[in-house]
């Protein structure tokens, strides 16, 4: 819709001049825009109001909803709403009796438009308005009949039949004389409005007692406007007899009506004698040619022959032949071109009359006989759904001999505006109404194009929502069964990228909950979110975050957490779906929500505050680099120190996404929320300190606004430690400084030496909450030295245990060799008594079993020791790298060089450090790590030699001690 139409829509009143202008304008989009939510400038006089209404109805009938850019259903809704609004306005101006006479003022062009329009919604609506007036007390039935009989001019056999039967019934119940008014109108307009076809259709409905036609064509749409419940078959027969009696003896008065009735009676008598050959099968009972080109030519010729037959036969004659064709010919194992033409005719349904008739006939066949996908005509329908690629793939399976000799790959069935695509969708919808067609529908879906599959699922969703609505007291499981069958279909699962966006946008909360209860049905969601990030999925998540409830999103996220292909908290791929599809949209929308009430803002706060959500989404590694991550949990060191994952946790992904938001205001908004969630009054943390430490460890990867937040967190940590020392001087809990040292020395913190510089800068800065920085410095030095000692000691213990295990294994091998020698000795001829042999075998068996159990335990223990040694080596490497970086760093770029010098001096003057370095140097065999140990020793000694020669000599003695 262009800007001009948006501005004008609903603001200007439509006058009769505007309506005429729109009538001459052939652009349906412009017309729909103007009538959508429009107001009308109604004429003051009654006569002019009828002219106004006539032009308006003519305008609505010229709109083609099927070709509208709005989509067919929305365009129809706009048209019907505009019609209702216009009629309501006219009734307010001129009263209810205005409805009696508007049919008298319709122009010939309007009646012709009602006749030509295949969609009878407007016609039935107008007819229902006038029909309902008959229930008004005190109304003159003669005046009412004069108006309503004009609807015969619309040329609708169903409306004409419905009108006649109602007039016949009224005359009986009310002792009225409206039938003669009907006859006069029918004769008057017979030639002017070309009523022969509609009259024959009316007669056919009554002669065949086709109550279904009246119910589906009129009664279902009118509802409360009906004068009485639907007529039964006997009443239709009586109404036909009354029609015949009404024209008897009045042949000259109703000449055209009489002649048509006599022709109809003669045709009925002829058709009742079923012909030996059905005209619709003429020239089509031949096997489908193997050549695709020849097959297409035959198909087109057959389709055109049916077009010609429909034009030459009366509608009910064509329908009768079609029904008889289905009953007499099918099902059969013989494949002919007739099968292909029937399928093509049903899908295209050129007159919107026969698809349902064909499907009803075929489902009736399935009820009476076993369904076979290879039998005619079912194979033709299945093949018709296939895309060009699938037709080639199934070439060896579907052949003229085995089941589907149709190559529809030349047809463009996968385009949105294709008649084939729309036809396939309508057929699936019809199949959904028949339980017996379930297997047939499944076969069709298995080869359907993405557009057809998507359209079918989109059609099912409103039906499913209504079926599962708690306020729906009708019950039933028809559409839930159809949806379950569709989403369990392998073809539909493969098209998850087409189907899932439709599901998540349109399913109600109840329908989503139903879907997620069955993993076989919900597997399509797993398939979709297992894919990598795509622009389509980003748009989808933004849409549902903006338009669905928090409960809806929680239900979806919880399901994905528990049911994705990988749900292990230790796996790097178990949370990629969240990072790839959800994280960016959540942050983007939450950063733009100043009120903080949106679903995105609520989720953002929840995952940063709730223990389970933070640990899952942000607190554990979720990157492929963490695939071979070392397990530190079994170490004794891990019981008293924080060894946190930092570099590859989900929190790192979130910081990168925040940095990509671009606008500083949006970044700041998120960071302010974050700060408020994790701290209180800027004095203490409201979440576990380990979360804060992980965030601090990502300082180097954080955007500027997040760096400021991390600085505040460090300051809060230092001040809270100072406060805790004052209030609880004897408390055994570890201080923030000690945990910061663990973060920088033991965790995989990126640029840990730079973070240490930031930490020194913050604690060295004067603050009212801190008495001095000496306490922090002393604690930091003690933490570094103590950590080195504990690390060296535990590594030594593990290496000793490993050596002991190896010696025990070697001794066991020697023992087994000795046992073998004894066995050979027992089996020598001199010692080969049976009793000794049996006893020796039992002893060896028992000893072998004990050895196996011991070996299994030793293997498990050995593997644990090896893992622990590997983990300790990694921690040694991290600690030495950090220590070397700190000891060799230049003070020229530092903001607090004096504090850095005091720290370096304190570390190198601690003689316990040299004991741990000596231990490491003696037990580590890995060359690169040993080189780092030597470099660390040399650097420490050089600094110590320059500062204190006495301590330098003592350190050398410690290092040289064996």
pLDDT at 808 over 80: no
pTM for the model stands at: 0.65
Query: Which tokens hold the place of 886?
Result: 């700190």
CA-CA distance, 873 to 862, in Å (whole number)?
Answer: 16
Residue with tokens 């609520």: 602
Confidence of residue 290 (pLDDT cuts 50, 70, 90): confident
pLDDT tens per residue, range 404-456:
334 333 343 344 447 888 899 999 999 988 888 899 999 999 999 999 999 99
3-state class (DSSP) for residue 614:
helix
Contact assessment for residue 599 and residue 553, using Cβ atoms and an 8 Å cutoff: yes
pLDDT of residue 263: 83
Judge whether 714 and 762 are in contact, CB under 8 Å. Answer: yes
What is the average pLDDT across 739-752? Answer: 91
Percentage of the chain surpassing pLDDT 70?
86
Residue 766's pLDDT is 67
- The three-state secondary structure class of 489 is coil
Give the sign of the dihedral formed by CA 773, CA 776, CA 779, CA 783: negative
Instruction: State the greatest distance between any 2 C-alpha atoms of the chain, in Å, as a whole number.
Output: 142
Yes or no: say if 281 and 325 are a contact pair by the CB < 8 Å rule: yes
Per-residue pLDDT averaged across 907-929, rounded? Answer: 90
Stretch among 172-176, 380-384, 387-391, 937-941 having the lowest mean pLDDT: 387-391
Spans of all domains in the chain: 148-273, 274-448, 450-529, 632-647+661-788
Predicted confidence at residue 100, as pLDDT, reads 87
Dihedral (C-alpha) 616, 621, 622, 627: value to the nearest 10 degrees?
A: -130
* Average pLDDT rounded to a whole number, residues 717-741: 81
Residue 413 near residue 421, CB atoms below 8 Å = yes
pLDDT at 161 over 90: yes
Q: What span, in angstroms and rounded, lies between the C-alpha atoms of 413 and 422?
A: 9
Q: What is the mean pLDDT of residues 859-887?
A: 84
Q: Which of 220-229, 378-387, 785-794 has the highest mean pLDDT?
A: 785-794
Whether residue 345 is predicted with pLDDT greater than 90 in this model: the reply is: yes
- Cα-based torsion angle of the residue sequence 658, 659, 664, 668 in order, rounded to the nearest 10 degrees: 40
- What is the arithmetic mean of pLDDT over 13-32? 85
What is 652-711 written as a DSSP string? HHHHHHHHTT--HHHHHHHHHHHHHHHEETTTEESS-HHHHHHHHHTGGGS-HHHHHHHH
Average pLDDT over residues 653-671: 91
- CB atoms near residue 273 (< 10 Å): 7
Among candidates 488, 480, 572, 581, which has minimal Cα distance to 528? 581
pLDDT tens sequence across 462-491: 999 999 998 887 777 889 999 999 999 999
Strands 13-14 and 39-40, bridge-based pairing: parallel
Strands 684-685 and 679-680: antiparallel
Question: What digits encode the pLDDT tens for the residues 80-133?
Answer: 889 899 999 999 988 888 888 899 999 988 988 888 888 888 999 999 999 998
Residue 857 has pLDDT above 70, yes or no: no
pLDDT at 596: 87
Phi, psi at 481, each rounded to 5°: -65, -40
Report the pLDDT value the prediction gives residue 619, as an integer from 0 to 100: 85
Rg (CA), the chain: 43
CA atoms within 13 A on the CB side of 185: 21
Confidence of residue 403 (pLDDT cuts 50, 70, 90): very low
- Which of 640, 749, 655 is CA-nearest to residue 694? 749
Cross-strand partners of 679: 685
Give the Cα separation of 303 and 283 in Å (integer): 12
Residue 232 CB contacts under 8 Å (≥ 6 apart), including other chains: 211
């Amino acid at each position: 819709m262009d800007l001009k139409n948006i501005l004008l829509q609903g603001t200007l009143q439509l006058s009769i001049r505007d309506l005429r202008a729109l009538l001459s304008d052939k652009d349906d989009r412009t017309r729909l825009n103007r009538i959508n939510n429009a107001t009308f400038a109604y004429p003051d006089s009654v006569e002019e109001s009828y002219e106004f209404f006539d032009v308006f109805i003519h305008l609505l009938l010229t709109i083609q909803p099927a070709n509208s850019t709005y989509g067919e259903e929305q365009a129809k809704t706009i048209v019907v709403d505009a019609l209702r609004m216009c009629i309501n306005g006219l009734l307010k101006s001129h009263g209810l009796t205005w409805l009696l006479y508007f049919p008298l003022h319709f122009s010939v062009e309007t009646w012709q438009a009602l006749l030509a329009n295949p969609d009878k919604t407007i016609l039935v609506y107008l007819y229902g308005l006038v029909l309902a007036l008959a229930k008004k007390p005190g109304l003159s039935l003669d005046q009412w009949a004069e108006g309503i009989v004009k609807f015969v001019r619309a040329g609708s056999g169903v409306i004409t039949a419905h009108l006649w039967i109602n007039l016949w019934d009224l005359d009986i119940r009310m002792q009225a004389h409206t039938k003669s008014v009907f006859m006069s109108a029918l004769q008057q307009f017979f030639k002017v409005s070309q009523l022969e076809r509609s009259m024959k259709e009316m007669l056919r409905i009554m002669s065949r007692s086709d109550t279904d036609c009246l119910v589906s064509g009129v009664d279902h749409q009118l509802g409360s406007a009906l004068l009485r419940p639907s007529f039964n078959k006997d009443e239709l027969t009586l109404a036909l007899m009354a029609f015949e009696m009404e024209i008897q003896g009045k042949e000259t008065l109703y000449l055209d009506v009489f002649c048509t009735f006599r022709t109809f009676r003669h045709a009925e008598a002829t058709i009742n004698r079923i012909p030996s050959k059905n005209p619709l099968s003429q020239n089509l009972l031949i096997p489908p040619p193997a050549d695709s080109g020849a097959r297409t030519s035959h198909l087109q010729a057959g389709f055109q022959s049916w077009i010609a037959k429909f034009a030459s036969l009366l509608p009910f004659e064509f329908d009768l032949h079609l029904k008889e064709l289905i009953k007499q010919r099918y099902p059969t194992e013989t494949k002919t071109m007739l099968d292909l033409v029937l399928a093509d005719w049903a899908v295209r349904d050129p007159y919107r009359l026969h698809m349902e008739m064909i499907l009803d006939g075929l489902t009736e066949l399935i009820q009476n006989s076993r369904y076979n996908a290879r039998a005619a005509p079912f194979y033709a329908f299945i093949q018709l759904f296939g895309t060009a690629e699938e037709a080639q793939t199934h070439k060896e399976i579907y052949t003229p001999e085995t089941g589907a000799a149709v190559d529809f790959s030349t047809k463009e069935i996968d385009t949105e505006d294709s008649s084939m695509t729309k036809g396939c969708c309508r057929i699936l919808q019809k199949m959904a109404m028949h339980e017996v067609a379930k297997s047939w529908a499944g076969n069709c879906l298995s080869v359907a194009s993405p557009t057809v599959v998507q359209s079918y699922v989109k059609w099912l969703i409103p039906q499913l929502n209504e079926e599962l609505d708690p306020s729906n007291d009708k019950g039933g499981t028809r559409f839930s069964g159809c949806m379950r069958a569709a989403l369990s279909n392998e073809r539909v699962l493969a098209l998850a990228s087409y189907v899932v966006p439709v599901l998540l946008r349109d399913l109600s909360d109840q329908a989503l909950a139903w879907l997620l209860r069955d993993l076989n049905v919900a597997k399509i969601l797993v398939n979709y979110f297992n894919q990598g990030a795509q622009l389509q999925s980003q748009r989808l998540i933004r849409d549902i975050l903006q338009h669905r409830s928090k409960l809806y999103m929680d239900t979806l996220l919880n399901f994905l957490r528990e049911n994705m292909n990988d749900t292990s908290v230790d796996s790097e791929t178990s949370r990629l779906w969240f990072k790839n599809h959800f994280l960016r949209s959540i942050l983007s929308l939450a950063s733009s929500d100043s009120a903080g009430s949106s679903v995105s803002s609520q989720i953002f706060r929840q995952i940063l505050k709730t223990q389970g959500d933070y640990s899952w989404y942000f607190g554990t590694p979720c990157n492929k680099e963490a695939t071979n991550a070392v397990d530190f949990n079994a170490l004794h060191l891990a019981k008293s120190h924080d060894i946190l994952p930092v570099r590859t946790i989900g929190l790192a992904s979130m910081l990168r996404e925040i940095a990509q938001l671009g606008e500083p205001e949006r970044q700041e908004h998120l960071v302010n929320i974050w700060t408020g969630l994790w701290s209180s009054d800027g004095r203490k943390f409201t979440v576990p300190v380990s979360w804060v430490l992980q965030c601090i460890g990502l300082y180097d990867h954080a955007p500027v606004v997040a760096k400021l937040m991390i600085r505040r967190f460090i300051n809060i940590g230092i001040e809270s430690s100072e406060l805790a020392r004052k209030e609880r001087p004897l408390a055994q809990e570890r201080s923030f400084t000690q945990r910061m040292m663990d973060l920088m020395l033991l965790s995989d913190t990126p640029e840990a030496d730079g973070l240490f510089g930031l930490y020194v800068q913050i604690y060295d800065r004067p603050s009212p909450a801190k008495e001095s920085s000496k306490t922090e410095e002393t604690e930091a030095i003690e933490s570094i030295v103590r950590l080195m000692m504990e690390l060296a000691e535990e590594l030594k213990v593990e290496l000793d245990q490993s050596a002991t295990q190896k010696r025990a294994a070697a001794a066991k091998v020697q023992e087994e060799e000795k046992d073998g020698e004894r066995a050979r000795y027992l089996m020598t001829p001199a010692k080969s008594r049976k009793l000794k042999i049996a006893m020796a075998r039992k002893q060896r068996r028992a000893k072998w079993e004990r050895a196996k159990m011991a070996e299994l335990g030793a293997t498990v223990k050995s593997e644990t020791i090896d893992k622990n040694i590997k983990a300790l080596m990694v921690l040694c490497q991290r600690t030495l790298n950090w220590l070397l970086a700190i000891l060799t760093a230049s003070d020229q770029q530092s903001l607090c060089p004096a504090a850095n010098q005091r720290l370096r001096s304190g570390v190198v003057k601690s003689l316990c450090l040299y004991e741990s370095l000596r231990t490491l140097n003696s037990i580590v065999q890995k060359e690169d790590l040993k080189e780092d140990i030597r470099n660390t020793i040399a650097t420490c000694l050089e600094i110590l030699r320059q500062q204190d020669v006495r301590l330098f000599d003592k350190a050398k003695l410690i290092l040289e001690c064996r």
